[in-house]
């Protein structure tokens, strides 16, 4: 199984400041079609995970452009360019290059 490791465990950010979350996979997430199957989700209390980023760096429909993703192979980063109060919650990375799909342990983002 592919292990997904996120850092940091938690982050406290001043509104308007940037935030960065790292995600590392134990194997390459590059598939034979040339796409890298790395995803980012945000989960707010009492809600299902909401999709943010697919295939490393593309935003799902409706996701604000302050969210961006980068990386390749086994090393990935989610950046929030200017954190807003509504961005609080737990962020998860996930791989779907092979079954079982696996999630990172999560990064809790709070507002200072």
Tell me the two tokens of residue 39: 């995803």
Q: Does 41 bind other proteins (CB under 8 A)?
A: yes
Sign of the C-alpha dihedral computed for residues 70, 75, 78 and 79 taken in this order: negative
Q: How far is the CB of 21 from other proteins (least distance, A)?
A: 14
CA pair distance 81, 15, nearest whole angstrom? 10
Alpha carbon separation from 29 to 26, 41, 43, 94 (Å, rounded): 9, 17, 23, 10
Binding mask 3-32 for other proteins (x = CB under 8 A): ------------------------------
Q: Does 104 bind other proteins (CB under 8 A)?
A: yes
Which residues of this protein are in contact with other proteins, per CB under 8 A? 33, 35, 37, 39, 41, 43, 47-51, 54-55, 60-61, 90, 92, 94, 96, 99-106
């Amino acid at each position: 199984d592919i292990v997904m490791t996120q850092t940091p465990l938690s982050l406290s950010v001043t509104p308007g400041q940037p935030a960065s979350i790292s995600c590392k996979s134990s194997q390459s997430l590059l598939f034979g079609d040339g796409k890298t199957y790395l995803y980012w989700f945000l989960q707010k209390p009492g809600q299902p995970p909401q999709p943010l980023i697919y295939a490393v760096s593309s935003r799902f429909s409706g996701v604000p452009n302050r969210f961006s993703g980068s990386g390749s192979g086994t090393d990935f980063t989610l950046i929030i360019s200017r954190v807003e109060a509504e961005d609080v919650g737990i962020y998860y990375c996930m791989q779907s290059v092979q079954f079982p799909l696996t999630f990172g342990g999560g990064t809790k983002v709070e507002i200072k």
